[in-house]
Structure formats: structure tokens, C-alpha cells
Amino acid sequence: MSAAVRLSEAQSRIIEHRGCDLQIIACAGAGKTEAVSRRVAGLLAEGVEPEAIVAFTFTEKAGAELKDRIYRRCEELLGLAFLDRLGPMLRLGDLARRTQESGVPPRARTNRGFHSAPRRGGIP
């Protein structure tokens, strides 16, 4: 369970950050995925709508791991029933199951890049 994970001061600042965009630049293994997934789960627990949250990664693999981790943190924090609200975010298992059912080859739906456009209504 994630509660046993010891967070660094930098990770805690990421998780608690509110009010504006946040760009995280750190080396591999620094804990970016854990910090972002906990931040997203925290925002959702505070009532931010899933559609209002945008997270970008550099690779498809990192994006898939982030999605999976967000699902796990949301399940821990908000319960299994909440996962239905995450809508278009697909777990890898869900993607594989849907692929088998539809016969359409899998294609990751991960956004990569940087988001620089200002949002109307503020940033959570």
C-alpha cells in the first residue's frame, strides 16, 4: 500500500501544490510518478473534476505507468466506485480487454508534450 512509501520534501511540495501550473523536471527514479499520481488523487478528493486535470509525460511507457498509478491512488483515497468517474483514462488491462472485444489493435492514448496555454477559470 502506498501509505508505507516515504516521500521526500520535494515530493510533498508537488503533492500539496495548488493554484497554478506545475512543471516537474527530475531524473529517472526521483519519484515523479508517485508525486504526480498522489497530487492528482488529492485534487480529485478536493472536488476538482477529472476533466480539469492535465498531466503530460515524455514517453508512452511513462504515461501508461502514470495512468495506472493514478487509478491505484484514487482507489486507495476515494474508493473503488470513484474509478468510474475517471472516464477516458484507461488502465492497461482495460485497454487489452477492449482490444480483444473489438478486434481493433491497441493504441495508447497518452498525451506527450508540454502544456503552455492558459486555462480559463484558473488552475487547481
Domains of the chain: 7-88 (3.40.50.300)
Q: pTM here?
A: 0.68
19-75 pLDDT tens trace: 888 899 998 889 999 999 999 999 999 999 888 888 888 888 888 899 999 999 999
CB 39 within 8 A of CB 14: yes
Q: Are 112 and 58 in contact (CB under 8 A)?
A: yes
**So what's the pLDDT on residue 109?**
41
Euclidean distance between CA atoms 108 and 1, whole angstroms? 27
